[in-house]
């Protein structure tokens, strides 16, 4: 990619509905969000690609949650890339940006010459939704499958939610004269509107190991509509998805004009982390003075680093932990 100027629809998610085919979806374009996520770490390019794909999936899925809710996606594996974690924080108020953060943990000496997904090995894809204080977080888990994170996310929705879901994603490095090379991404999510009684066969799914896929939860007219709209989606070109010339609304008309697309308010998204010194102190408040002493550096400090944004916290051990909290009367 050879463009680098900020575009009006960068870092936005546009929700839409296809009335004729009874489907909903989102179009996402990410630029500054990915720069914010990836510049915090010196990831190898294959790890960057996995984090970029995961962040794009998070933006597309996260737009559905309510104000002040938190969506987390996690991948845990036995491969060279052990974990990828992303968080999507719903806006605090209507019209405000949502925030996304992400990071990966990996063993550099175990990375191979294979594709990015090959660095994951065996593991699982998890979705967690936190609705706030006083509620029990929702958690759903499915296996890694289909040769990509997007295929694993599609399988999650079919398996755990019995919702036919499709992601079409594009991401890569962009460069232009006078503009530092950076990652850009664009994606479309399609999802069949949920039914009271989805069609599911009793013989397992058509995916790896019998896992359910989109075609396993639809039949009749729903299956016909799904196939037709996916054929249209397959016609999308790379530059239409992430280039500077086609706005998300225009893209929907190009792809789905016969499906009667209807768009809703655009959701802006930004890179953002929720870490703070107060949160670090709170996380340490369960430890006794003896525990804190084991965490103290030779220089006599307690330190912590945020895995998401790289923030460094340097604290006096006498001011943290359970005993310090009791002295303050917290």
Residue 302, domain CATH: 3.90.1280
Rg (CA), the chain: 22
pTM above 0.85, yes or no: yes
C-alpha 47/C-alpha 29 separation (Å) is 20
More confident residue, 52 or 64: 52
Q: Mean pLDDT of all residues in the chain?
A: 89
Judge if 236 and 309 occupy the same domain. Answer: no
Going by C-beta distance under 8 Å and a sequence separation of 6 or more, which residues neighbour residue 16? 24, 25, 26, 27, 252, 261, 262, 263, 264
Judge if 134 and 249 occupy the same domain. Answer: yes
Judge if 261 and 281 occupy the same domain. Answer: no
Cα-Cα-Cα-Cα dihedral sign, residues 212, 217, 219, 222: negative
Judge if 134 and 248 occupy the same domain. Answer: yes
- pLDDT grade for 198, boundaries at 50, 70 and 90: low
Instruction: Tell me whether residue 7 is in a domain.
Output: no
Instruction: Tell me whether residue 303 is in a domain.
Output: yes
pLDDT of amino acid 2? 46
Arithmetic mean of pLDDT, 316-322: 86
pLDDT of amino acid 199? 58
Number of domains in the chain: 2
More confident residue, 14 or 277: 14
Instruction: Tell me whether residue 2 is in a domain.
Output: no
**253-294: pLDDT as tens digits:** 999 999 999 999 999 999 988 877 888 888 888 888 888 888
The whole domain housing 324 covers: 277-328
Instruction: Please check the confidence at residue 206 and state whether its pLDDT lies above 50.
Output: yes
pLDDT of amino acid 6? 64
Judge if 261 and 294 occupy the same domain. Answer: no
Instruction: Tell me whether residue 1 is in a domain.
Output: no
C-alpha 296/C-alpha 304 separation (Å) is 11
Question: Alpha-carbon dihedral of residues 244, 47, 150, 6, nearest 10 degrees?
Answer: -20
Judge if 135 and 172 occupy the same domain. Answer: yes
Judge if 185 and 307 occupy the same domain. Answer: no
**299-311: pLDDT as tens digits:** 998 888 878 877 7
CA atoms within 13 A on the CB side of 179: 18
Instruction: Tell me whether residue 6 is in a domain.
Output: no
| Cβ contact 272:101 at 8 Å | yes
pLDDT of amino acid 196? 53
**Of 271, 296, 311, which residue sits at a domain end?**
271
- pLDDT grade for 201, boundaries at 50, 70 and 90: low
Judge if 256 and 298 occupy the same domain. Answer: no
Instruction: Tell me whether residue 123 is in a domain.
Output: yes
**76-104: pLDDT as tens digits:** 999 999 999 999 999 989 889 999 999 99
C-alpha 34/C-alpha 120 separation (Å) is 21
Q: Are strands 98-106 and 267-271 parallel, antiparallel or unpaired?
A: parallel
Judge if 96 and 132 occupy the same domain. Answer: yes
Residue 174, domain CATH: 3.55.30.10
**98-144: pLDDT as tens digits:** 999 999 999 999 999 999 999 999 999 999 999 988 888 899 999 99
Instruction: Tell me whether residue 5 is in a domain.
Output: no
């Amino acid at each position: 990619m050879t463009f680098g100027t900020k575009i009006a629809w960068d870092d936005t998610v546009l929700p839409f509905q296809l009335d004729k085919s009874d489907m909903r979806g989102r179009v996402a374009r990410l630029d500054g969000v990915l720069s914010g996520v990836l510049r915090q770490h010196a990831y190898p390019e294959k790890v960057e690609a996995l984090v970029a794909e995961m962040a794009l999936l998070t933006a597309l899925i996260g737009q559905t949650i309510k104000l002040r809710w938190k969506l987390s996606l996690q991948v845990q594996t036995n491969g060279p890339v052990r974990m990828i974690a992303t968080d999507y924080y719903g806006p605090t108020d209507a019209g405000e940006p949502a925030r996304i953060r992400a990071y990966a943990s990996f063993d550099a000496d175990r990375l191979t010459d294979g594709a990015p997904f090959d660095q994951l090995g065996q593991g699982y894809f998890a979705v967690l939704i936190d609705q706030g204080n006083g509620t029990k977080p929702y958690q759903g888990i499915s296996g890694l499958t289909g040769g990509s994170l997007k295929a694993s996310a599609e399988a999650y929705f079919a398996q755990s939610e019995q919702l036919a879901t499709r992601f079409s994603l594009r991401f890569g490095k962009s460069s232009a004269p006078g503009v530092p090379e950076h990652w850009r991404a664009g994606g479309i999510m399609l999802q069949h509107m949920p039914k009271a009684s989805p069609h599911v066969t009793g013989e397992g799914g058509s995916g790896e190991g019998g896992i359910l896929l989109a075609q396993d939860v639809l039949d009749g007219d729903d299956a016909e509509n799904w196939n037709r709209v996916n054929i249209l989606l397959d016609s999308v070109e790379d530059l239409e998805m992430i280039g500077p010339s086609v706005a998300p609304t225009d893209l929907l008309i190009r792809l789905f004009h016969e499906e009667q697309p209807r768009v809703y308010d655009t959701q802006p998204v930004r890179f953002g982390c929720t870490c703070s010194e107060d949160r670090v102190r709170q996380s340490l408040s369960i430890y006794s003075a003896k525990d804190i002493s084991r965490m103290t550096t030779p220089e006599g400090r307690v330190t912590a680093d945020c895995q998401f944004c790289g923030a460094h916290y340097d604290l006096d051990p006498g001011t943290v932990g359970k005993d310090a909290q009791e002295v303050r009367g917290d």
